[in-house]
Amino acid sequence: MDKSDLIILGGGPAGYTAAERASAGGLSVTLFEGRSLGGVCLNEGCIPTKSMLYSAKLLDGARHGTPYGVRAEGASLDHAAVMKRKNKVVKTLVAGVAAKMKSHGVTVVPRNGTVVGKTPSGFAVTDGEREYEASRLLICTGSEPIIPPIPGVAEGIESGFVLTSREALELTDIPKKLVIVGGGVIGLEMACYFHTAGSHVTVVEMLDKIAGPAEAEISKVLLGNLQKKGIEFKIGRKVTGVTPGKSVTAGDGAIDADKVLLTIGRKPRTAGAGLEALDVFIERGSVVTDRHLRTNVPDVYAAGDVNGRIMLAHTAYREAEAAVSHMLGRADSMRYDAVPSVIYTSPEAACVGETEESAAARGLPFKTVKLSMRYAGRYVAENEGGDGICKLVVDERDGRLLGVHMIGGYASEIIFSAGMMIESRLPADALKKLVFPHPTVGEIIRESLFEI
For residue 292, indicate whether it is catalytic. Answer: no
Beta strands, E only, 237-385 = 239-243, 247-250, 253-256, 259-262, 266-268, 282-283, 286-287, 300-302, 341-343, 349-353, 366-372
Range 143-147 contact pairs with CB under 8 angstroms and sequence separation of 24 or more: 143/40, 143/266, 143/267, 143/268, 143/269, 143/305, 143/306, 143/311, 144/266, 144/267, 144/269, 145/262, 145/263, 145/265, 145/266, 145/267, 146/262, 146/264, 146/265, 146/266, 146/267, 147/262
Distance of alpha carbon 61 from alpha carbon 445, whole angstroms: 26
Phi, psi of 203 (to 5 degrees): -105, 125
Do 128 and 244 meet the contact criterion of CB atoms below 8 Å apart? no
- 3-state SS assignment for residue 5: strand
> Which of 104, 195, 326, 438 is flagged as catalytic?
438
Task: State the Cα angle at 194 between 189 and 200, rounded to 5°.
Answer: 120
Can you list the alpha helix ranges (DSSP code H) found in 280-373?
Answer: 313-327, 356-361
Enumerate residues 6+ apart whose C-beta is below 8 A from 436.
442, 443, 445, 446
Distance of alpha carbon 16 from alpha carbon 4, whole angstroms: 16
Do 289 and 322 meet the contact criterion of CB atoms below 8 Å apart? no
Do 19 and 101 meet the contact criterion of CB atoms below 8 Å apart? yes
Rounded to the nearest 5 percent, the helix, strand and coil shares of the chain are: 35, 25, 40
132-143 in b/e form (b: 16+ CB < 10 A) is bbbbbbbbbbbb
**What residues are labeled active site?**
438
